[in-house]
Structure 1
Amino acid sequence: MHNASSRRHFLQQSSLLSAGLATLGPAASLRAAKSPSEKVILGIIGCNGRGMAHISAYLSLPDTEIAYICDVDSRAVDKGIAAVAKKQSRKSQGVKDLRRILDDPAVDAVSIATPDHWHAPATILACAAGKHVYVEKPGSHNFRESELIVAAAHKHQRVVQMGNQRRSWPWVIEAIQALHDGELGKLFFARCWYTSHRGSIGHGKPAPVPAWLDYSLWQGPAPERPFRDNILHYNWHWFWHWGTGELGNNGVHSLDLARWGLGLDLPRRVTCGGNRYHFQDDQETPDTCVATFDFGDKAIVWEGQSCDPRGFEGAKVGATFYGEKGSLALADNASKIYDLNDKLVRELPGKHDDTASALTMRDYRSGWEPKV
């Protein structure tokens, strides 16, 4: 954005807009969210990376229609429109400003796959405009933004789902249910992890903004910084100004599994240590990190290795739970239950896709309501 507004100011303005529209009452907002057709009308906001996975998932559902493809990268818009055209008779409209989607009363819901610093502002504005929201992980750039999202969802009675899609995988649900049913007895600890094999991002240089990019809109609510040639489209993850590092990027998946399995809410204390060890470059976030979450009678440890792919349990992402009767190793390829003698008791093979998590934007029409 061309003005000097800070992220805090932008979010305050978004919250005020949300509060103002709430005076219309829940009935008005619910009517605005319903399209006259039997299909859920969608707008996809952000079409690089995860956004294309969103498009694919929604196109697999017969009762959804993608009306808009939005991205500040004109090449991504073209790619998204082309993907929709292969499976949907109605052509999607391409826009670069998400507000054009929010202005359309025919749109029921939006699916957000922007950089992290846009997640909260886009979600809050969408709720205020009467749209249901699926937003990629992490749900926000910081904790306070998450509180504002929850407040907006409550005020406007919108369904807001964050992209922890493992909660929709049947075999993961079965494994978590085994924990909750007491197969391990009392639970007291979980270790979770994410590993990858990322290279150096180098040292960026000032460069002209590419013709295909609206860099002002890309920065959005974040204070402006000059364009450099090693920011887009992925390396922004490793700058605190826009991203949240590996813990926010992928660690949230296994950390969510750990909290879910142990039945926990917020920790009373968090400690974290790590650094950028592997390369001397522009990256600000750690490539090696260990975080401990203290819940009093239970604890979680998350370990991240961005530059060494060797994980645990034969998987790059997962969580292992420990209880008085044994342990359960939950990874992306399977879950295994062991007794205290380290003997395998039973195994649940894993198979997953993202379609199930996309069903939320459809299910609200059938009268389903989220637990809040």
Structure 2
Amino acid sequence: MVTRREFLDTLAVGAAGLAISSTAKSYGQIMGANERLNFAVIGLNSRAYAHLSSLKANQGAVHISHVCDVESNILAKFATATNKMMGYDPATERDFRKILERKDIDAITIATPDHWHAPMAILGLQAGKHVYVEKPCSHNPGEGALLVEAQKKYGKLVQMGTQQRSSPHTIEIVNKIHSGIIGRAYFAKCWYDNTRKSIGIGRPAPVPATLDWDLWQGPAPRQPYKDNVQPYNWHWFRIWGTGETLNNGTHEVDVCRWALGVDYPNRVTASGGRYAFKDDWQFYDTLVTNFEYDDKAISWTSDSCNGMHTYNRGRGSVIEGTEGSVLVDRDGYEVYNLNGKKTDEFKVGKQTSTADLIGADSMTDAHFANFIAGIRKGEKLNAPVSVGNVAVTMLQLSNIAWFVHRELNLDPSDGKIKNDTEAMKFWNREYEKGWEPRI
């Protein structure tokens, strides 16, 4: 397998001579094609279909020139869906490095497993691509900080997929909170619930002929293939995934800290466990985590295996202030006075579900539109990686607090753990040799 360094060396000397694919040639004959951005979608299961839907919604400005996945059946299925939705065939590729070598690709979108997010995004920046990367933007705090640094160094845009940052009603209510609609906002609580089933006990099995298991693992230390990992259950293994906090908590915690106007906290605690089932799941299914500031706090509760709603919602946030509260989720918002009487509300009109693993919706369309406008017109990004990485790091710190079973005291300037050398060992991770991300 070609290492990261060997790939960059090849990229530096060989990219200019690549031939344009027949798909791109035919596209070049379309009126206005030179004004459109060529996108490549990488990692084609579940959330990638939301990327496809949102690129369709913005098709006047973009062309999907390539799609890429290490699993051939997933790749073929997505290519067919792209043809059906966009009306043309994208070029297909199993190795993302060949995508990055191309000079005719302007931007990549990353919907791979979490352990690939930051390393691939960094390689994309080094190859001169703009990057849309799903949350979490990193697998661990160290590489998240490295990605932020890389974006500054290479100058291309990186939008993180916290799409509620582009939701018009969320932008509206956060601005109202900042303007004092509930007085001084001081506490936020948020939650997520689902009815996920057991993943069982994985059995060693032959790697499917359709899957490049070595490239799928990429920067992660090598593991034998088991039958309960791919294509979704990797979320619950610490070597590849980041648990429910980063899988879903990122969205609501980001809204809460946005509404409260805070960044890194002073302290973080996390309490919970894997209670519902006894299987290979390496994270908690039930967790309560708290982030404490000088005069504010955020609390997030995860119920991965129990669908009992909070405020009749599977996910959402409540922002409390000295003069009232706001309840906000993806479907709208409600404003209450101190006595709990509703004084205002807004509803989108379409109800979302936590069981939806794709999440194609209008706010994702708007998030992509913002990213595209950032590239084409210099529009300010709603979720640049420097902003998105704050909530990601906070929830990674929540994981670390759960790993070591104690409260963490933090440096609020960068989130680093103070006076706890054992906990700080989790700031970074071990990488497969040759795949260490560097800038």
| TM-score normalised by structure 1 residue count | 0.89
User: What is the aligned residue count?
Assistant: 349
| Aligned pair partner of 1:55 in 52, 67, 72 | 52
Q: Following superposition of structure 1 onto structure 2, how do residues 126-205 of structure 1 map, counting pairs within 5 Å? A: 126-205=124-203
Name the SS for the 1:191 alignment partner: strand
1:68-126 CA distance string (max 9 Å, x none): 11001111111121122124354211111111111001111000000000000010000
1:304-329 CA distance string (max 9 Å, x none): 00001122122111110110001101
Q: Following superposition of structure 1 onto structure 2, how do residues 14-163 of structure 1 map, counting pairs within 5 Å? A: 37-61=34-58, 62-163=60-161
- Paired with 1:46 and 1:287, the residues of 2 have a C-alpha distance of 25
| Aligned pair partner of 2:372 in 362, 369, 372 | 362
The corresponding residue for 2:26 is: none
Name the SS for the 1:345 alignment partner: strand
Shift in Å, 1:187: 1.1
- Paired with 2:380 and 2:33, the residues of 1 have a C-alpha distance of 20
1:256-306 CA distance string (max 9 Å, x none): 110111011111111111100000111010000011011221110000000
Shift in Å, 1:368: 2.4
Aligned partner letter, 1:359? A
Name the SS for the 2:41 alignment partner: strand
Name the SS for the 2:34 alignment partner: coil
Aligned partner letter, 1:236? W
- Paired with 1:311 and 1:268, the residues of 2 have a C-alpha distance of 30
Bigger Cα displacement from structure 2, 228-237 vs 81-90: 81-90
- Paired with 1:360 and 1:47, the residues of 2 have a C-alpha distance of 22
- Paired with 2:88 and 2:371, the residues of 1 have a C-alpha distance of 19
Q: CA 1:263–1:344 in 2, change beyond 3 Å: closer, same or farther?
A: same
- Paired with 2:156 and 2:90, the residues of 1 have a C-alpha distance of 24
| Aligned pair partner of 1:302 in 300, 303, 309 | 300
Shift in Å, 1:175: 1.3
1:185-232 CA distance string (max 9 Å, x none): 111100011110001000000000011111111000000000000001
- Paired with 2:8 and 2:380, the residues of 1 have a C-alpha distance of 24
Aligned pair 1:337/2:335, yes or no? yes
Uncovered stretches (5+) of structure 1, i.e. residues with no partner: 4-9, 22-34
Name the SS for the 2:287 alignment partner: strand
- Paired with 2:75 and 2:85, the residues of 1 have a C-alpha distance of 16
Q: Following superposition of structure 1 onto structure 2, how do residues 255-334 of structure 1 map, counting pairs within 5 Å? A: 255-334=253-332
Shift in Å, 1:167: 1.0
8 Å CA contact retained: 1:315, 1:332: no
The corresponding residue for 2:25 is: none
Name the SS for the 1:179 alignment partner: helix
- Paired with 1:250 and 1:368, the residues of 2 have a C-alpha distance of 27
Q: Following superposition of structure 1 onto structure 2, how do residues 4-23 of structure 1 map, counting pairs within 5 Å? A: none
RMSD over equivalenced CA pairs, Å? 2.1
Shift in Å, 1:56: 1.6
Name the SS for the 1:86 alignment partner: helix
The corresponding residue for 1:350 is: 348
Shift in Å, 1:341: 0.9
Aligned partner letter, 1:330? V
Name the SS for the 1:121 alignment partner: helix
Uncovered stretches (5+) of structure 2, i.e. residues with no partner: 13-31, 350-360, 387-439
Shift in Å, 1:242: 0.4
8 Å CA contact retained: 1:187, 1:321: yes
Shift in Å, 1:17: 6.2
8 Å CA contact retained: 1:40, 1:361: no
- Paired with 2:80 and 2:88, the residues of 1 have a C-alpha distance of 12
8 Å CA contact retained: 1:313, 1:331: no
1:127-160 CA distance string (max 9 Å, x none): 1111011101111101111111111111111110
| TM-score normalised by structure 2 residue count | 0.76
1:10-29 CA distance string (max 9 Å, x none): 6xx69x969x98xxxxxxxx
8 Å CA contact retained: 1:204, 1:228: yes
- Paired with 1:60 and 1:36, the residues of 2 have a C-alpha distance of 17
- Paired with 1:117 and 1:216, the residues of 2 have a C-alpha distance of 13
Does 1 or 2 have the higher relative contact order (CA < 8 Å, sep 6+)?
2
Name the SS for the 2:86 alignment partner: coil
Aligned partner letter, 2:376? R
Aligned partner letter, 1:366? K
Name the SS for the 1:188 alignment partner: strand
- Paired with 2:257 and 2:196, the residues of 1 have a C-alpha distance of 27
- Paired with 2:283 and 2:378, the residues of 1 have a C-alpha distance of 43
The corresponding residue for 1:229 is: 227
Shift in Å, 1:2: 8.5
Shift in Å, 1:173: 1.1
